[in-house]
Chains A and B, each alone.
Chain A
Amino acid sequence: AQSVTQLDSQVPVFEEAPVELRCNYSSSVSVYLFWYVQYPNQGLQLLLKYLSGSTLVKGINGFEAEFNKSQTSFHLRKPSVHISDTAEYFCAVTSRGSGSRLTFGEGTQLTVNP
């Protein structure tokens, strides 16, 4: 079984400040990790993914995430946020042989204030 915990349900920040959204996972097998973003009344858009190789993964919109196997974490970071980054962010995990069935965290609402 696999699970995901997003450690913060809401993260308020000021524009141009750095942000980190935290994600921890548990799984007994090798994992693939994803971050998705959801803007109001829209579907989920893939931000970035870790499959293998380099533990630092760069995604769209200036976001990056680091896979840390020893800490079973996959935190999402951005050095300087914009108002337009206000959205809900979901961390998700799947594993080899699971048919790409994703297990999601509960989401983190990022609110960027002027």
Chain B
Amino acid sequence: DAGITQSPRHKVTETGTPVTLRCHQTENHRYMYWYRQDPGHGLRLIHYSYGVKDTDKGEVSDGYSVSRSKTEDFLLTLESATSSQTSVYFCAISGPRVSGNTIYFGEGSWLTVV
């Protein structure tokens, strides 16, 4: 196990409400990522972080924001959830150079926006 915990694992929320997903790692890795998985699209990068308070956008960042105030935590926020954000969200961390840029994934958070 790569020491990644996502919470909540399952959530149903209403359109227009804010939602925050949390990713917690115990590996002290510098890089952290949020991906979403949708049928026919594989996994797409939402946001990533390369250190505390250093974040950047991925390819599908609209409607999402992130924060990283501690090395171990990376939060993904949907400010006002929409039905198009119904998806499975995966957090990932990147191992040290010795592991060759290998990325390890959490177990996923299933989000349904109704």
Contacts and interface: CB of A to CB of B under 8 A. Distances in A.
Interface stretch (B11-19, B35-43, B68-76, B77-85): B35-43
A15 interface: no
Contacts of B90: 43-44
Contacts of A104: 35, 42-44
A101 B42 contact: no
A32 B43 contact: no
B26 to A, nearest CB: 16
Contacts of B45: 101-103
Nearest to B49: A99
A101 B105 contact: no
Interface in A81-114: 90, 92, 94, 99-107
A45 B104 CA distance: 7
16 contacts: A6-B42, A34-B103, A42-B107, A43-B106, A46-B102, A46-B103, A46-B104, A49-B102, A92-B43, A100-B94, A100-B101, A103-B45, A104-B42, A104-B43, A104-B44, A106-B42
Interface of B: 31, 33, 35, 40-45, 48, 50, 58, 90, 92, 94, 100-108
Interface of A: 4, 6, 32, 34, 36, 41-46, 49, 51, 90, 92, 94, 99-107
